[in-house]
């Protein structure tokens, strides 16, 4: 860093040196230093508008620094501007960095796992196209961490692939990151836990040479490993020591994860008061830093502790906060899915319009050619008629007479056709159903909602759109159109959402220990398998896994 600072003092507008310094500050987890470098790059971009790299890196470094500091809104604004600059200039490496950074933001703050994976996959596709193993390893590792944040340990395949590319790139930093992520994910697989000590050993050897990460990161893995293998005393010793000796400048995310791991160990040791204190500090940091993805786990753990301490009012309070956060997450995912479908529909509609316009243009060109041909033919006929008129006047007169007669017949035929078309149009207008107005749709949807929520019509496994239409005194076509125009979804999709919401409500009642098969039948599913599949598609996990998270 001292060499870079000397270069920058000599040449304050040296973009490559500023970029290298900014990346080094971010690697050292020094967001304030990264912000200073970003401000200098912004000044360079103002003085030199052609410097695209300076403008992009200024926004990127500012967004990444704000992400570290927990300024979620500012971070997203800066990263979005960086992505816009990258897309406009079509620089592959910049596109990769911007998409990777926004994916990281979504997984930590946006509570939108689907969007995070979308950004990661975009960055990964660009990186694979470049064939850079280091970039591929970094994005795969970040995607694996997103799965880890979500509690979906199937992300282990991304961590393994990230480790392979890191070794191929011969980069110790990328290898260390992949080893640590792989160790965290392996802790949650019984058959892979035996690999954790060797993974930690290899990671410690790399870190001993370069000092990339804090020792608390290894304490987190080792303490968690002791807990999952049943040695709670050793786990408590490792984690409590790490928390007591941790420096004030370690990343807040790392301290939060240590506090959560320590709290879980205290739960296993039945030291619920100590666990609550640990989770309370983790909750305070998560709220301050906007670690929205961790709030569900913390609320659930605190409610569990209060329940086992027989403090049911407090347990209910945190369980209520857990449910509100879960509902908010579900609504966010549904809105994201709805917006994506809307965008896809608009793209398809635009493509259809363009195709139709091309077809119309082609037809017009054909029509012009036909008209020109007809015009040429008419001119030839007139010339021929004039020639014969000069030679045989009486023949021309007879031809003219026949032409006049043919034109008269054609006129009569056109008149008859126009009358027939007018009559057909009148009949079709009389036969066409009256269109639905907004007032009719609103009234129909109000009655439909009452039928579903108050009368719980969805509990009937034999329900159909025809039976619902009859109950609402309308026809199935009107009802289907009204549902599609209101929700942009089909009747079966809306019916499934009503049933799943009812099932979630029944499972959320801790005093109601009804079997899942009975719940499936109570909310209207004809078989448990359909219930499980529908529940997983909408909620993102199986009913059993959802009930387990509640417990």
> What is the pLDDT, as a whole number, of residue 288?
81
pLDDT digits (tens, 9 = 90+) for 200-257: 999 999 888 877 778 888 898 899 899 988 899 999 999 899 888 876 667 788 888 8
Q: Is 211 exposed, middle or buried, given 0-12, 13-18 or 19+ CB atoms closer than 10 A?
A: exposed
Nearest Cα to Cα of residue 385 among 374, 371, 370, 398 = 398
Q: Which residues are within 8 A (CB) of 396 and not within 5 positions of it... i.e. 6 or more apart?
A: 385, 388, 389
Structure tokens at 29: 């987890």
Task: Return the sign of the alpha-carbon dihedral for residues 280, 285, 288, 292.
Answer: negative
- What is the spatial distance between Cα 385 and Cα 380, in angstroms, rounded to a whole number? 8
pLDDT score recorded for residue 400: 65
- The answer to whether residue 165 scores a pLDDT higher than 90 is yes
Lowest mean pLDDT among 14-18, 196-200, 487-491: 14-18
Better-scored residue on pLDDT, 53 or 373: 373
Tokens 């007139």 -> residue? 382
What is the H or E stretch that residue 400 is in?
Answer: helix 393-431
| pLDDT given at position 535 | 92
Q: How far apart are CA 234 and CA 223, in angstroms?
A: 7
Q: How far apart are CA 197 and CA 203, in angstroms?
A: 10
DSSP sequence for 46-101 = HH-TT-HHHHHHHHHHHHHHHHHHT-HHHHHHHHHHHHHHHHHHT-HHHHHHHHHH
Number of neighbouring beta carbons within 10 Å of residue 21: 24
What is the average per-residue pLDDT within 338-355?
61
C-beta separation of 149 from 107 below 8 A: yes
pLDDT for the residue 133: 92
Task: Determine how many CB atoms are found less than 10 A away from the CB of residue 450.
Answer: 12
Containing 489, the helix (H) or strand (E) segment is none
Q: Each residue of 29-46: pLDDT tens digit?
A: 677 888 888 888 888 877
pLDDT at residue number 17: 81
Per-residue pLDDT, 376: 92
Q: For all residues of the chain together, what is the average pLDDT?
A: 82
pLDDT at residue 109 in the model: 67
d(CA 9, CA 201): 41
- pLDDT score, position 337: 54
Cβ pair 183, 203 in contact under 8 A: yes
So what's the pLDDT on residue 432? Answer: 41
- In terms of C-beta density within 10 A (0-12 exposed, 13-18 middle, 19 or more buried), how is residue 92 classed? middle
Evaluated on CA atoms 423, 428, 429, 431, the torsion sign reads: positive
Q: What is the distance between the alpha carbons of residues 286 and 276, in angstroms, rounded to a whole number?
A: 15
pLDDT mean over 260-272: 90
52 pLDDT above the threshold of 50: yes
- Three-state DSSP string of 455-486: CCHHHCCCCCHHHHHHHCCCCHHHHHHHHHHH
SS3 (DSSP) at 540: coil
Instruction: Please give the pLDDT value at position 253.
Output: 80
pLDDT of 430 reads 42
CATH 1.10.10.60, domain 439-550, yes or no: yes
Residue 175: predicted pLDDT? 92
> What dotted CATH number matches 1-131?
1.25.40.10
pLDDT of residue 13: 73
Question: What was the pLDDT predicted at 305?
Answer: 92
Query: Residues with Cβ < 8 Å from 8, sequence gap 6 or more?
Result: 14, 17, 18, 21, 40
Per 3-state DSSP, the chain is made up of helix, strand and coil in percentages (nearest 5) of 85, 0, 15
Residue 527 has what DSSP assignment?
Answer: S
pLDDT digits (tens, 9 = 90+) for 56-86: 888 888 888 887 777 778 888 888 888 888 8
DSSP code, position 231? -
- The residue to which tokens 């880890």 are assigned: 148
Q: How many residues does the chain have?
A: 551
Q: What would the pLDDT profile of 270-309 be if each residue is shown by its tens digit?
A: 999 999 999 898 889 888 877 777 788 888 899 999 999 9
In this predicted structure, the answer to whether residue 342 has a pLDDT above a threshold of 70 is: no
pLDDT for 273 equals: 92
- Does position 431 have pLDDT exceeding 50, yes or no? no
Q: Is the pLDDT of residue 164 over 90?
A: yes
Report how far residue 296's alpha carbon sits from residue 302's, in angstroms, rounded to the nearest whole number: 10
Single pTM value for the model = 0.55
pLDDT beyond 70 at 351: no
Q: At 349, is the pLDDT very low, low, confident or very high (cuts 50, 70, 90)? A: low
Judge whether residue 88 has pLDDT over 70.
Answer: yes
Find, among 409, 403, 408, the residue nearest to 385 by Cα. 403
* Nearest-10 crossing angle of helices 312-391, 113-130: 60
Q: What is the DSSP letter of 251?
A: -
């Amino acid at each position: 860093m001292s060499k870079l600072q000397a270069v920058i003092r000599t040449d304050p507008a040296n973009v490559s040196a500023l970029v290298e310094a900014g990346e080094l500050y971010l690697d050292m987890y020094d967001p304030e230093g990264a912000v200073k470098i970003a401000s200098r790059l912004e000044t360079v971009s103002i003085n030199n508008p052609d410097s695209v790299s300076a403008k992009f890196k200024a926004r990127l470094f500012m967004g990444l620094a704000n992400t570290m500091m927990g300024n979620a809104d500012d971070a997203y604004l800066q990263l979005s501007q960086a992505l816009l600059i990258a897309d406009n200039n079509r620089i592959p490496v910049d596109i990769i960095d911007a998409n990777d950074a926004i994916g990281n933001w979504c997984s930590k703050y946006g509570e939108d796992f689907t969007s995070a994976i979308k950004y990661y996959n975009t960055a990964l596709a660009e990186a694979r196209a470049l064939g850079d193993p280091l970039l591929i390893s970094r994005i795969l590792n970040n995607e694996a961490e997103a799965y880890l944040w979500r509690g979906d340990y199937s992300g282990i395949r991304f961590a393994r692939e990230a480790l392979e590319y890191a070794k191929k790139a011969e980069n110790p930093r990328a290898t260390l990151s992949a080893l640590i992520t792989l160790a965290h994910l392996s802790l949650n697989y019984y058959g892979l836990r035996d690999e954790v000590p060797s993974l930690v050993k290899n990671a410690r050897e790399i870190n001993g040479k370069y000092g990339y990460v804090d020792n608390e990161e290894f304490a987190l893995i080792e303490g968690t490993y002791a807990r999952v293998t049943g040695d709670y005393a050793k786990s408590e010793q490792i984690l409590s020591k790490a928390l007591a000796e941790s420096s004030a400048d370690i990343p807040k995310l790392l301290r939060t994860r240590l506090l959560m791991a320590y709290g879980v160990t205290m739960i296993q040791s039945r030291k619920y008061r100590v666990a609550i204190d640990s989770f309370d500090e983790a909750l305070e940091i998560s709220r301050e830093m906007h670690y929205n993805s961790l709030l569900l786990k913390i609320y659930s753990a605190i409610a569990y502790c209060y329940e086992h301490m027989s403090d049911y009012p407090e347990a209910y309070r945190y369980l209520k906060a857990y449910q509100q956060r879960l509902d908010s997450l579900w609504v966010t995912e549904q809105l994201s899915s709805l917006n994506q479908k809307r965008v896809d529909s608009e793209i398809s509609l635009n493509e259809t319009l363009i195709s139709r316009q091309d077809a119309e243009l082609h037809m017009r060109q054909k029509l012009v050619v036909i008209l020109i041909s007809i015009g040429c033919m008419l001119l030839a006929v007139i010339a021929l008629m004039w020639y014969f008129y000069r030679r045989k006047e009486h023949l021309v007169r007879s031809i003219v007479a026949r032409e006049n007669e043919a034109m008269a017949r054609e006129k009569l035929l056109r008149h008859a056709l126009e009358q027939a078309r007018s009559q057909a149009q009148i009949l079709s207008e009389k036969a066409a159903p009256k269109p639905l107005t907004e007032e009719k749709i609103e009234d129909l949807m109000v009655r439909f909602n009452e039928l579903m929520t108050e009368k719980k019509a969805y509990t009937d496994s034999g329900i159909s759109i025809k039976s619902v239409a009859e109950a609402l005194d309308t026809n199935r076509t009107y009802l289907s159109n009204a549902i599609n125009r209101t929700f942009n979804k089909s009747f079966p999709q809306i019916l499934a959402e009503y049933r799943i919401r009812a099932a979630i409500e029944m499972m959320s009642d801790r005093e109601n220990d009804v079997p899942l098969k009975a719940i499936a039948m109570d909310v209207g599913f004809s078989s448990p398998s359909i219930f499980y599949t529908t529940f997983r598609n909408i909620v993102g996990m199986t009913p059993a896994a959802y009930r387990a998270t509640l417990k």
